[in-house]
Amino acid sequence: MTDNTEDSESWTVLKILRWTTGYFEKQGIDSPRVDAEVLLADLLEMERIELYANFNRPMVDDELAAYRKRIKRRAAGEPCAYIVGYREFWSITLQVDQRVLIPRPDTETLVREALDIIEEHAPQAVVDVGTGSGAVAIALGSEHPDLQIAATDADEEALDVARQNVETHGLDETISLAHGDLLDAVDDDQKPVDLIVSNPPYVAETERDDLQPDVRDFEPTDALFAGEDGLDVIRRLVPAAFDTLAPGGWLLFEIGYRQGDAARDILTDAGFQHVEVIPDYGDRDRVAKGRRPL
Ligand X SMILES: C[S@@+](CC[C@H](N)C(=O)[O-])C[C@H]1O[C@@H](n2cnc3c(N)ncnc32)[C@H](O)[C@@H]1O
Least separation, in Å, of the C-beta of 237 and ligand X?
8
Interhelix angle for 13-26 vs 61-75, to 10°?
20
From CA 154, how far away is CA 233, in angstroms rounded? 12
Site for ligand X in 264-293 (CB under 6 A): none
Q: Does residue number 199 form part of the binding site for ligand X (CB under 6 A)?
A: yes
Least separation, in Å, of the C-beta of 86 and ligand X?
13
Q: Does residue number 259 form part of the binding site for ligand X (CB under 6 A)?
A: no
DSSP secondary structure of 137-163: HHHHHHH-TTSEEEEEES-HHHHHHHH
Q: Does residue number 230 form part of the binding site for ligand X (CB under 6 A)?
A: no
Q: Does residue number 155 form part of the binding site for ligand X (CB under 6 A)?
A: yes
Q: Does residue number 126 form part of the binding site for ligand X (CB under 6 A)?
A: no
Judged by CB under 6 A, the stretch of 16-24, 62-70, 73-81, 153-161 that binds ligand X is 153-161
Least separation, in Å, of the C-beta of 279 and ligand X?
18
Instruction: Pinpoint the alpha helices (H) of 205-294.
Output: 213-218, 221-224, 232-244, 260-269
∠ CA(277), CA(128), CA(100), 5° rounding?
100
From CA 278, how far away is CA 252, in angstroms rounded? 10
Which amino acid is it at 105?
Answer: P
Q: Does residue number 249 form part of the binding site for ligand X (CB under 6 A)?
A: no
> Residue 41 or 166: which CB sits closer to ligand X?
166
Q: Does residue number 154 form part of the binding site for ligand X (CB under 6 A)?
A: yes
Cis status of the peptide bond prior to 247, with omega within 30 of 0: no
From CA 72, how far away is CA 287, in angstroms rounded? 36
Least separation, in Å, of the C-beta of 11 and ligand X?
36
Q: Does residue number 204 form part of the binding site for ligand X (CB under 6 A)?
A: no
Q: Using an 8 Å Cβ cutoff, are 267 and 251 in contact?
A: yes
Site for ligand X in 156-175 (CB under 6 A): 158
Name which position in 136, 139, 251, 270 contacts ligand X (CB under 6 A). 136
Q: Under rule CB under 6 A, how many of the chain's residues touch ligand X? A: 23
Least separation, in Å, of the C-beta of 93 and ligand X?
14
Q: Using an 8 Å Cβ cutoff, are 103 and 135 in contact?
A: yes
Query: Where along the sequence are the contacts to ligand X (CB under 6 A)?
Result: 101, 103, 107, 129-133, 135-136, 152-155, 158, 181-182, 199-201, 222-223, 233
